[in-house]
Structure 1
Amino acid sequence: MTFIRLFNFKAQRNFQHFTFSLPSLLATLCVIMAKPVQALDANILYLQQNRPEQALLSNIFNEPADSGLPGAQLAIEDNSTTGRFLQHHYKLTHNQSPTAEPLVAAAVEWVQNGEGLIVANVASDTLLQLANHPALRAKAVIINTGSGDDSLRHQQCTTGLLHTAASRAMLADALAQLLVSKRWQKWFLMRGQRPEDSLFASAMKRAAKRFGASIVEDKTWSFNTDLRRVAQQEIPTFTRARAYDVVVVADELGDVGEYVPYNTWLPRPVAGTQGLTPTAWHRVVEQWGAIQLQNRFEDLAQRAMNGTDYATWLAVRVIGEAVTRTNTTAATDIYKYILSPEFEVAAFKGRKMNFRSWNGQMRQPIALVHPRALISQSPQEGFLHPHTDLDTLGYDKPEVNCSFKTQLD
């Protein structure tokens, strides 16, 4: 029995890479038969802004310094699997810096040299500099893989700027749907002191109002206590409040939230940035063929795939799918096709995924996980929408207050 299981595991692992590319190969053959083959060089610029390291109480699990890059490299390999049949040659150019100026300069030079495909794992203010730069506007497709800021999706959405990174609102809505479906509708909201913690807390408050939950307490952790020593005394006191069903934590960097589970005043579950966590991707996702993506990524990067890696892999795959279907690398044509009703991409989440035409955000399911298992995936059953239930996650069209066009000017 042990031998049979081992053999089946190895066979499955080897066979999965083949099954991943079979639908793409069939689609490719159809494209080849439909139009003459034209050799193309599909060059993609990957911009990475290195974030400064933060001093945290819980610093055991740090974000990998190369988050995003291996995802782009793996997607180049995947695109090339299909591309070689069409004589489409994919190349990734990588540029990184801790500041915005060199990255913007690299993007401008890229476009001046006749290219127009850019994947950006950078801060939100750098994204806006890129998208609004006169030399780049209407000349480049920029896909955001590193920022979940909601303002980029409903107030500052910019023509030419797309998002494969899930927004905070999408994550919050995904979590809220599960909590409400379990009738955990009274929330104790605990937030950290950093600006990003307030942004996630705001997203959770919006989700509570949207799906009928109530926040019975909203408290900010403002102490300098070393929780590594006194969490068992401090957290129960902090979370003492009138009855609640769940503690929702907004602590994106994990400065305090890691110490909240099992230390609350009432014996309640913990969710949010710690505990039961909403995420676009996690190492525990293995359904829908995802295990083969996880395995191939780990073989390449020698570590597990995280959300930024996945968003970057997805961005490069989106470009590859568009190049295959349009047989061009022109930014105007790629952008128009990506935002058309005809575009969709399979990405190991059990659903075909595409972009919202009102803000450039990719529709996608959101996983709900704890560190060692997938608990659920939102949208949850019963949360309906007139177009697609994926639009119950994040900002819907009536909520968006910005000008966004589906064609580059």
Structure 2
Amino acid sequence: MRSVRFVCVFASVVAFGLTTSANAQIEIDIQYIKQLVDAPPTLSNLDPIPEDLGTHGAELGLQDNATTGRFLGQTYSLTVTEVDVGGDFAEAVRSALSSSDLLVLDAPQEQVLMAADMPETAGALLFNTRAADVALRSDACRANLLHTLPSYAMKADALMQFFVQRRWEDIALIAGERPDDQAWADTLENSARKFGLKFGARKTWVFDADMRRNASQEVPLFTQELGDYDVLLVADAADDFARYIPYNTWRPRPVAGSAGLRPVTWHRVVEQWGAAQLQSRFDTLADRPMQDRDYAAWAAVRAIGEAVTRTGAADAETLRAFMLSQEFELAGFKGAPLTFRTWNGQLRQPIPIVHERALVAQAPLEGFLHQRTELDTLGLDQPESRCTAFDN
């Protein structure tokens, strides 16, 4: 277990007299806890997962908080703790709580739930920036846990809105064997039925051969059995085989999901709404494009900063109450203010639909209406969520 601490201090604030009695000095300590996991074996090594995934997003959020905080007497610090594979995540949480009750968790669902259920975190505020599992926003929700990463359901609904708009009504699906693949596939299927689309054949990818040599022979035969369809969905959460599906299918049809047309939290092709400026600052910091977990970590740290600025407080109870109120909004460079759902703690946000070289669309799409906000057409709406932890 390794920890690194970042501190943004602006002594010049006092020197230039920018603070007042109304803006008393506030120290905000944010603890970022990252669970390292063994990367699953994949059929390609073209796109290795960055070792610093998520971490630089939190660091950029800290810098952005400090930009405003220097005028308000706020000092921000960030401690990044990496828990080794098989390490004691619970102990890392306990150690973090000795310094702060504001915890950003970059961990799989199992560790996120374990942290949220610890007696020591009952009064803390936790942010989930990695686990996209729908259950965490439904029957497995926790009152002390907010989610800045979109769920699988939000991404699936974004795709289905696009399919409805394009009148791609007949869908086939290929899913990997891993639990994450199956969870993503199940969510895609449920979303298709929710939007009234026809869900046809579904196959499980079972190949472990070198697709760099065999894709053009194996994939056409594999997809021939799917019959006819308007669009082929691929559920490959580990980014293992999906890259070999486009242009190798038996029928010439668009591919979407984990390859081809993809719903994402963030992507380098998002350039509108000031996003290019965020992309540039992240690239300067990390020397690579911002990815989904980076954006989720940035949003978590920025949500804390926004709530501190608006309330003048730094305790978990006050910040949580404000984040779940109608007064909270976060400028997220996505063309609409980001807010938290009061029934399950999910951060509402638009979902870009992209291919590798361009932004194709951004959901919610025109024509999909909601009595509260069109953003609630993505993911679990209040009647769909079985979360009861937020009832009070």
Partner in structure 2 of residue 173 of structure 1: 157
1:213 counterpart (180, 189, 197): 197
Partner in structure 1 of residue 141 of structure 2: 157
User: 1:253: Cα distance to partner?
Assistant: 1.4
User: 1:243: Cα distance to partner?
Assistant: 1.6
- Tell me the amino acid that sits aligned with residue 76 of structure 2: Y
Deviations 1:314-350 (A, max 9, x none): 1000000000011111111011111111111111000
Partner in structure 1 of residue 216 of structure 2: 232
For the pair 1:79 / 2:61, whether they are aligned, the reply is no
Distance 2:147 2:382 in 1: 16
User: 1:142: Cα distance to partner?
Assistant: 0.3
Secondary structure of the 2:383 match is helix
4+ aligned runs moved over 6 Å, structure 1: none
User: 1:99: Cα distance to partner?
Assistant: 4.5
User: 1:100: Cα distance to partner?
Assistant: 6.9
Distance 1:199 1:384 in 2: 27
**Shift in CA distance, 171/58, structure 1 to aligned 2, threshold 3 Å:** same
Share of identical aligned residues, percent? 46
1:258 counterpart (240, 243, 258): 243
**In angstroms, what is the RMSD of aligned CA positions?**
1.6
Distance 1:189 1:218 in 2: 5
Matches within 5 A, 1:15-30: none
Deviations 1:122-174 (A, max 9, x none): 1111011111100111x211011111011100110000100000100001110
Matches within 5 A, 1:105-124: 105-113=91-99, 115-124=100-109
Partner in structure 2 of residue 284 of structure 1: 269
For the pair 1:51 / 2:37, whether they are aligned, the reply is yes
Matches within 5 A, 1:340-355: 340-355=325-340
Alignment gaps of 5+ in structure 2: 1-17
Are the aligned partners of 1:339 and 1:406 in contact in 2 as well (CA < 8 Å)?
Answer: no
For the pair 1:222 / 2:206, whether they are aligned, the reply is yes
Are the aligned partners of 1:96 and 1:103 in contact in 2 as well (CA < 8 Å)?
Answer: no
User: 1:405: Cα distance to partner?
Assistant: 2.4
Deviations 1:54-99 (A, max 9, x none): 2111221011011011111111111001001111000001101135
Quick check: which one's helix share is greater? 1
Are the aligned partners of 1:79 and 1:90 in contact in 2 as well (CA < 8 Å)?
Answer: yes
Are the aligned partners of 1:189 and 1:217 in contact in 2 as well (CA < 8 Å)?
Answer: yes
Are the aligned partners of 2:156 and 2:188 in contact in 1 as well (CA < 8 Å)?
Answer: yes
Are the aligned partners of 1:170 and 1:394 in contact in 2 as well (CA < 8 Å)?
Answer: yes
Deviations 1:10-69 (A, max 9, x none): xxxxxxxxxxxxxxxxxxxxx989x81110100000011112122111221011011011
1:305 counterpart (290, 303, 325): 290
User: 1:101: Cα distance to partner?
Assistant: 5.5
User: 1:225: Cα distance to partner?
Assistant: 2.9
Deviates more, 1:365-374 or 1:46-55: 46-55
2:51 counterpart (42, 60, 65): 65
For the pair 1:191 / 2:175, whether they are aligned, the reply is yes
Distance 2:29 2:88 in 1: 19
Are the aligned partners of 2:140 and 2:387 in contact in 1 as well (CA < 8 Å)?
Answer: yes
Are the aligned partners of 2:19 and 2:73 in contact in 1 as well (CA < 8 Å)?
Answer: no
Partner in structure 1 of residue 259 of structure 2: 274
Partner in structure 2 of residue 21 of structure 1: none
**Shift in CA distance, 324/247, structure 1 to aligned 2, threshold 3 Å:** same
Partner in structure 1 of residue 88 of structure 2: 102
- Tell me the amino acid that sits aligned with residue 357 of structure 1: T
Partner in structure 2 of residue 392 of structure 1: 377
Deviations 1:182-208 (A, max 9, x none): 011111111111111100101101111
Alignment gaps of 5+ in structure 1: 1-30
For the pair 1:372 / 2:338, whether they are aligned, the reply is no
Distance 1:164 1:406 in 2: 20
Distance 1:209 1:355 in 2: 26
